[in-house]
Chains A and B, each alone.
Chain A
Amino acid sequence: MNIFQDTGKYALLMRRVLVQPDRWRMFFRQFPKELEKLGLESLPIVIIISVFIGAIMTIQTKLNTENPLLPTYSTGLVTRDTLLLEFSSTILCLILAGKIGSNIASEIGTMRITEQIDAFEIMGVNSANYLILPKIVAFVCMMPFLVIFSMGVGLFGGYLVGVFTNIITTADYLVGIQYAFVPYYVFYSIVKSVVFAFLISSVAAFYGYYAYGGALDVGKASTNAVVNSSILILFFNLLITNLMLN
């Protein structure tokens, strides 16, 4: 029963969020701040995770495909396609659901329990629109760049394996990552990431906006935001993959 109630409440909240701002000037004042907070400040974690996963994926692929019948470039090819198709969109978004989701839910949740949201409402401000819309738009705008960046850094991580170890040669790796490249995979990955960015920011905002009680409840809202946005990411991943790759 709760799932239907929450879905209805979420839809009603989005109806308040996705409208024209009261003042565009105020929106454009918030927007760059959110771009920086949600996008640019996520770059370090994106770099660290992508470079390590790219390197680990290259080593594991090489070790698991030791077969003279397989071409030497296959490791690079598998690493590239895994990064493009799944890691840089889905796995990265699952990680960012933790970072960004908890950030948004706790920020808005704290504003709720300290009556700051009530203060907006008393002033006649559409608090949902003012607080949530810049976050959603900023994160949706930044996500494709984060994904493309992650792809590049991940591939570079794989390249470092060739440079620093004898597991694979850099030449084989470079041939592999260029072999039979399908640009559509990048498009598919970006589409997924945009949907996931919307889900992470809006679901987290929903749990924060309807938080009540004290600090413990803000923590609970934060946890719910991360758990539920992660589940939704996996569900929509299946849906979009079926639609775009099947």
Chain B
Amino acid sequence: MIEVKNVDKSFDGNQVLKNVSAVFHTGKTNMIIGASGSGKTVLMKSIIGLHHIDNGKIEYDGRNLPDMLMGDIRILRREVGMLFQGSALFDSLTVLENVMYPLEMFSNTTKDEIIERARFCLKHVDLQEKAYQLAPSEISGGMQKRVAIARAIALQPKYLFCDEPNSGLDPQTSLIIDRLIHDITREFDITTIINSHDMNSVMEIGENIVFIEKGENAWQGTKEDIFEVENKSLNDFVFASELYKKVKKANK
């Protein structure tokens, strides 16, 4: 479980996060939603430790990240997997080498075992074997996301972060990636945090939702609660499209 308590973060005097608190549960797909520029990426990067927060606590199962020394942070990060918006695969390595990289860096297993584990992870995300030796630039966006997920789970992380996992993908592939993340979260009992403004994803796999508005935690609950709650900014955000307005009406 990851707990965020009263977090403030500003850049050059511009306060981006204001007293944000949230709880992200283990074995669930936790989602941070909000409009562009609301501060959700800053929140996610602060939780991971890529941004140093000004005030507050970020506890990974009781371990407060801001209190940790650099060495301890690096050890903690070995328990973390991340899927970046643009996949962030290493250009100079093949697909298989990308997944092998964290294993080669941090595990003490033999080369054969590393290859076996990397292949297992790639199979788990349904990537065809013929793509293993290709460069990341030679595969499609959806396949890149799969490789990035395989790399993120290679070291069996306890925490998985996904920054806009569906950006640039068609609706069908988005759905596949969403389900993949959801299944992995359940199967490996990971604390998964997904940063998204895609309402299809929220409705498909969101179990614990944190809504950020203008750098503040405006609401937290389940996707079922969204239809009931009377929060204007949340309603404006979630039911912006005609389709979701109809869905809301039908639910009522």
Residues of A within 8 A of B (CB): 22-23, 25-26, 111, 114-116, 118-119, 121-126
Contacts and interface: CB of A to CB of B under 8 A. Distances in A.
A26 B80 contact: no
Interface stretch (B99-107, B174-182, B187-195, B229-237): B99-107
B90 interface: yes
Nearest to B80: A122
Contacts of B84: 115, 118-119
Nearest to B79: A124
A124 B49 CA distance: 11
Contacts of B76: 124
B88 A26 contact: no
B104 A119 contact: no
Interface string B155-172: 100000100000000000
Interface in B193-227: none
B50 A125 contact: no
A123 B104 contact: no
A111 B82 CA distance: 16
B85 interface: yes
A122 B48 CA distance: 7
B165 to A, nearest CB: 13
B88 A118 contact: yes
A122 B45 CA distance: 10
Contacts of A26: 104-105
Contacts of B48: 122
A25 B106 CA distance: 12
B75 A114 contact: no
Q: Is the interface of B mostly helix, strand, loop or mixed?
A: mixed
9 contacts: A23-B105, A25-B104, A26-B105, A115-B85, A116-B89, A119-B90, A122-B48, A124-B76, A125-B105
Contact of B102 (A25, A115, A123): A123
A22 B71 CA distance: 12
Given A23-B104, A118-B50, A123 B88 contact: no
Interface string B128-172: 000000000000000000000000000100000100000000000
Contacts of A22: 105
Nearest to B155: A123
Contacts of A25: 104
Interface of B: 48, 50, 73-78, 80-82, 84-86, 88-91, 101-102, 104-106, 155, 161
Nearest to B73: A124
B78 A119 contact: no
B86 to A, nearest CB: 6
A178 B105 CA distance: 53
A118 B88 CA distance: 8
The 8 residue pairs across chains A and B that have the minimum distance between CB atoms? A124-B77, A115-B88, A124-B74, A119-B88, A122-B82, A124-B78, A115-B84, A116-B88
B168 to A, nearest CB: 13
A123 B105 contact: yes
A126 B71 CA distance: 10
A55 B226 CA distance: 79
A119 B105 contact: no
Given A118-B82, A122-B81, A122-B161, 15 more contacts: A23-B105, A26-B105, A111-B91, A114-B91, A115-B84, A115-B86, A116-B88, A118-B84, A118-B88, A119-B84, A119-B88, A122-B82, A123-B106, A124-B75, A125-B105
Contacts of B91: 111, 114, 116
Contact of B90 (A23, A116, A124, A126): A116
B90 A121 contact: no
Nearest to B74: A124
Contacts of A116: 88-91
A121 B102 CA distance: 11
B106 A124 contact: yes
Nearest to B151: A119
A204 B20 CA distance: 39
A114 B77 contact: no
A126 B50 CA distance: 13
